[in-house]
Amino acid sequence: MTSSKQALAHPATSADAAPGSQPGAARGAQGRGTPPPGPDSWRSRLYRWDMKASPYAFIAPFFIFFGAFGLVPLLYTAWYSLHNVQLSGLDHQTWAGLDNYKNLLSSEFFWNALENTFTIGVISTVPQLVMALGIAHLLNYRLRGSTVWRVVMLTPYATSVAAATLVFTLLYSWDGGMINWLLHFVGVDPINWRESDWGGQFAVSSIVIWRWTGYNALIYLAAMQAIPADLYESAALDGAGRWQQFRHVTVPMLRPTILFTVVVSTIGATQVFGEPLLFGGVSGSKGGSAHQYQTLGLYMYDQGWTIGNLGKASAIAWTMFLILLIIAVINLLVTRRLRKSQ
């Protein structure tokens, strides 16, 4: 369709530009002229169509799947969030307007979950990225068996959340757990990690840190190896020590990478779910008896699947979505700032 329009458009413009002039008329005649013999035109049309349409066909699967498993559920969740829907009565929906959202904003459990998500996010992401940077710096030295070290770094990431959390749960168990046993040598009384107010958050964060530090370290390492060696050489000539090289060469050169890991980790932290759920053991979706490590993800799961209040759970899902959008906007602003300052 488009191609034939263009073919028509050409002569018209040229005719306008030079009315009656020979070349224009000739071109016009040619463009409008009798179609070339059958099979050839069919083939060329097919070719042109192929050129235009194929890319869409190639990217279509993603959009079809996104539509089916992303967009439709998203919109359906929005619809649910405006209704009273119970898990046991999906067909009996009654209009609730914004009640679910109002209910949410006045619920202490929601604010608690929001706060927990934030604090767990901070105490897991910050140490994780700082440690990853340090480890990457060490791995960047000439080491014997460097591949082995790198593979070892990545093993926690390859372990399943369930297995890791189970082991950590045993380590942190207040009666006979290894961590309390070690603490007792330095004269600290056993801590009930799971039920104390900060203990649970600390424990959950430590699982997240354990799993993701190596992963981030490898990303940093890859970026570090792309830094030209002559930068270090000239820095060394200027008398910069290892630490100064790290501060004044490595970190500035890694800035885009660091920003990337910060964005990815922030999104990950907003969605923390498996670790606290499994750490809580039976009825883990409560996030501890006082909800001390119940994240937004857990609160949504608890409302939707344990309690069966799908309307409210959907409202939580949409609120989480909005929070992620806000985080994305903040990230964008920060990125722009950084680019300008560079």
Contact status: 213 vs other proteins (CB under 8 A): no
Separation between Cα atoms, residue 253 and residue 223, nearest integer Å: 8
Contact status: 89 vs other proteins (CB under 8 A): yes
Contact status: 176 vs other proteins (CB under 8 A): yes
- Quote the DSSP letter at residue 227: S
Out of 196, 270, 271, 335, which residue is the one contacting other proteins (CB under 8 A)? 196
Out of 16, 56, 95, 108, which residue is the one contacting other proteins (CB under 8 A)? 108
Contact status: 290 vs other proteins (CB under 8 A): yes
Residue 158 CA: distances (Å) to CA of 211, 264, 279? 8, 18, 19
- Region binding other proteins by CB under 8 A among candidate stretches 132-140, 187-195, 230-238, 245-253: 187-195
Shortest Å, Cβ 58 to other proteins: 27
Separation between Cα atoms, residue 121 and residue 114, nearest integer Å: 10
Residue 229 CA: distances (Å) to CA of 147, 226, 261? 20, 9, 24
Contact status: 90 vs other proteins (CB under 8 A): yes
Contact status: 16 vs other proteins (CB under 8 A): no
Choice between 206 and 285, CB closer to other proteins? 285
Out of 175, 187, 230, 239, which residue is the one contacting other proteins (CB under 8 A)? 175
Contact status: 77 vs other proteins (CB under 8 A): no
Contact status: 252 vs other proteins (CB under 8 A): no
Torsion angle, alpha carbons of 267, 270, 271, 274, to 10: 120
Token pair in block for residue 121: 């996010």
Token pair in block for residue 263: 């964005």
Choice between 110 and 215, CB closer to other proteins? 110
Choice between 84 and 140, CB closer to other proteins? 84
Contact status: 283 vs other proteins (CB under 8 A): yes
Token pair in block for residue 108: 């202490």
Task: Please report, as ranges, the residues that interact with other proteins according to CB under 8 A.
Answer: 86-91, 103, 107-109, 166, 169-170, 173-176, 192, 194-196, 281-283, 285-286, 289-290, 304-309, 312
